[in-house]
Chains A and B, each alone.
Chain A
Amino acid sequence: QLQLQESGPGLVKPSETLSLTCTVSGDSIRSTRYYWGWIRQPPGKGLEWIETIYYSGSTYYNPSLKSRVTISIDMSKNQFSLRLSSVTAADTAVYYCVTSTFSNFDAFDVWGQGTVVTVSP
């Protein structure tokens, strides 16, 4: 059974870089079946798609965040990562790593439990 688990610091200072890692278990991140992605949810607000990566290295970004985000895959560790630079309080959110077992770019049926990231001095 495919499972995802986010990890990373829960507190980041303004202007610094937020870095999160998602560990994949139950299948290989090299699989051609999956797109891997990140979604976030600010407190009391809706879902926002951040970015998606395919095993081949193809990446896709939310235009509003594109200048600040990077997504990468570490096949040796079966992990993929998010880096968001120059953070502000508006980046405070629950961050989820996600994937689809339907081989879809969207339709995320597997979610991590979510990790809370607070941007504060």
Chain B
Amino acid sequence: QSALTQPASVSGSPGQSITISCTGTSSDIGDYNYVSWYQQHPGKAPKLMIYDVTNRPSGVSNRFSGSKSGNTASLTISGLQPEDEADYYCSSYTSSITLVFGGGTKLTVL
């Protein structure tokens, strides 16, 4: 299975909004609403930020939102804050009953 495609890096200034894309195929993102997004700070375990494309776990800021169109899912962070600087990973369920991750995107808050 091929990894989902994410941009290597994105950046934004405090208060701005950014969007991270995650592109898959019709065998994963395109066919299922089982896309998750994780935030990982250096040396820490990943934290679930979005699941089932649009749902936020309890305790996750509503500045984080998810969406999907065709084979591409997106994570939008509004009102960027310094603590949002981290690596972000998407994942998707696949038609083979497996999971596949994206390569990760490094978010820099300028």
Chain B contacts of A100 at CB under 8 A?
51
List the B residue with the shortest CB-CB distance to A109: B48
What string of 1s and 0s marks CB contacts (under 8 Å) between B4-20 and chain A?
A: 00000000000000000
Q: Which chain A residues numbered 54 to 77 have a C-beta less than 8 Å away from chain B?
A: 60-64
Cβ of B36 under 8 Å from chain A: yes
Instruction: Find out whether the CB atom of A49 lies under 8 angstroms from the CB atom of B98.
Output: yes
User: Are A105 and B93 within 8 A (Cβ)?
Assistant: yes
CB-contacts of B46-68 with A (<8 A)? 46-48, 51-52, 57
**Is the beta-carbon distance between A48 and B101 smaller than 8 angstroms?**
yes
* Contact present for A106 and B103 (CB under 8 Å): no
- Which residue of B is nearest A64, CB measured? B1
The yes or no answer to A96 lying at the interface (CB within 8 A) is yes
Known pairs A105-B93, A106-B91; A61 contacts B45 (CB<8 A): no
The answer to whether B36 touches A96 (Cβ under 8 A) is no
Judging by beta carbons under 8 Å apart, are B45 and A96 in contact? yes
A82-121 with Cβ < 8 A to chain B: 96, 100, 102, 104-109, 111-114
Query: Interface range on chain B: under 10, 10 to 19, 20 to 34, or 35 or more?
Result: 20 to 34
Question: Which residues of B are found within 8 Å of A61, using beta-carbon distances?
Answer: 98
- A104 pairs with B52, CB closer than 8 A: yes
Contacts of B36 in A (CB 8 A): 106-108
| A26 interfacial by beta-carbon distance below 8 Å | no
Cβ distance B17 to chain A, nearest Cβ, rounded Å? 24
Residue pairs across A and B with Cβ atoms less than 8 A apart, 22 shown, are A46-B89, A46-B101, A46-B102, A46-B104, A47-B101, A47-B104, A48-B101, A49-B98, A49-B100, A63-B1, A100-B51, A102-B52, A105-B34, A105-B93, A105-B97, A106-B36, A107-B34, A107-B52, A109-B57, A111-B45, A113-B45, A114-B45
Chain B: residues with CB nearer than 8 A to chain A? 1, 3, 34, 36, 38, 45-48, 51-52, 57, 89, 91-93, 96-104
